[in-house]
Amino acid sequence: MNPLVSLIVTSKNSARTIEACLRSAREQQYQPIELVVVDNASSDDTPQIARRNADIVIDKGPERSAQRNAGIGAARGEYVLVLDADMVLERDVVAAAVEAAQGGAAVVAIPEVSFGQGFWSACKTFERAFYARDPVVSAGRFFSRQAALDAGGYDETLTGPEDWDLSMRLAGSTPIAFARARILHDEGRQTLPDLFRKKYYYGRSLPAFVRKHGSAALKRLNPARSSLIAGIGEMFKHPLLACGMIVMKSVEAAGGTAGMLDARPRDISSIYRATGT
C-alpha cells in the first residue's frame, strides 16, 4: 500500500490562485493524499475556497514558517509536500517525489517553471530556467514528516531563507534529489518595486541565516551562480530578456542588501565572521 502524502499549502489573500493549486493537488495520479491549507487571516475568499477543496484548513500566522510548521503538525502523512498557493502541480509530481524519497533521498526538490504577465515576469521565467535543477539554488519541498518534526521544523525566525535552512539541516552532507516532474509557479504581474520590497523583507533574515550556516549559506547567496554562467550562450540568443534579467537581479540585490543592512548590527557582524573579513 502506498504511504499517505500530505500536501501542505500556505496562503494569504490567495483567492486568485489557490483553487488552481488545490485542484492540481487533488488530481494527482498518486494516491492516497491529503490536502492541508494553512491560511494567515485572509480577507478575501481564500478561506472559503480552501474549505471547499481541502481536507484540513487551519488559520495560523504570523509568517510562512509558522504556517508550515502548523501544517506539518496537523498532517497525518508519512511524507509532506510543502507548497505555496500560487503553484500548480503536474499530475505526476507526488509520484515522482515519492519515487525519489524511496530511492534514498532525504530531501526532494521539484523543478519550478515560472509563468506570469508582463515583461518582468518573462524575465523571471527566463532566469529560473537556468537553475531549475541547480542543487545550490534549489530547496527541497518534499521530505519525511517525522524527519521534519525531529529536526524542529522550519526556523520561525527566518522569512525567505527558511526553505534553504530546513533543506540543509535535513539533507546534511547528502545531495538534494530532484523529482522528474515540475511545479508551475504563477508569478502574476511582477514589478520592480514589488521585487525590491520582497527581497528587502527576505534580506532582513539573511544575517541570521549566514550565522547558522556560514560559508554554505554564502554559497547560496552568491549571485554569480554557475548555472547562470553556463547559460551565457542562451542569454546571447535572447538579449532583451537577458538585459531585463540583469536589471531585475540588480534591483533584487539592492533590496536584499538594504534589508540585510537594516538588520541588527550584531547580525551583520556574522557575515564578516563567515567571510573572514
CATH number of the CATH domain containing 205: 3.90.550.10
The number of domains in the chain is: 1
pLDDT for position 231: 75
Containing structural domain, residue 34? 5-275
Angle of the 46-53 helix axis to the 18-26 helix axis, nearest 10? 10
pLDDT-flagged residues of the chain (< 50): 266, 268-277
Range 62-67, long-range pairs (CB < 8 A, 24+ positions): 63/156, 63/159, 64/10, 64/154, 64/159, 64/162, 65/153, 65/154, 65/155, 65/156, 65/157, 65/158, 65/159, 65/162, 66/154, 66/156, 67/10, 67/38, 67/39, 67/40
Question: What pLDDT, on a 0 to 100 scale, did the predictor assign at position 233?
Answer: 85
Average pLDDT over the chain, rounded to an integer: 91
pLDDT at 273: 47
The reply to whether omega before 32 is within 30° of 0 (cis) is: yes
pLDDT value for 272: 40
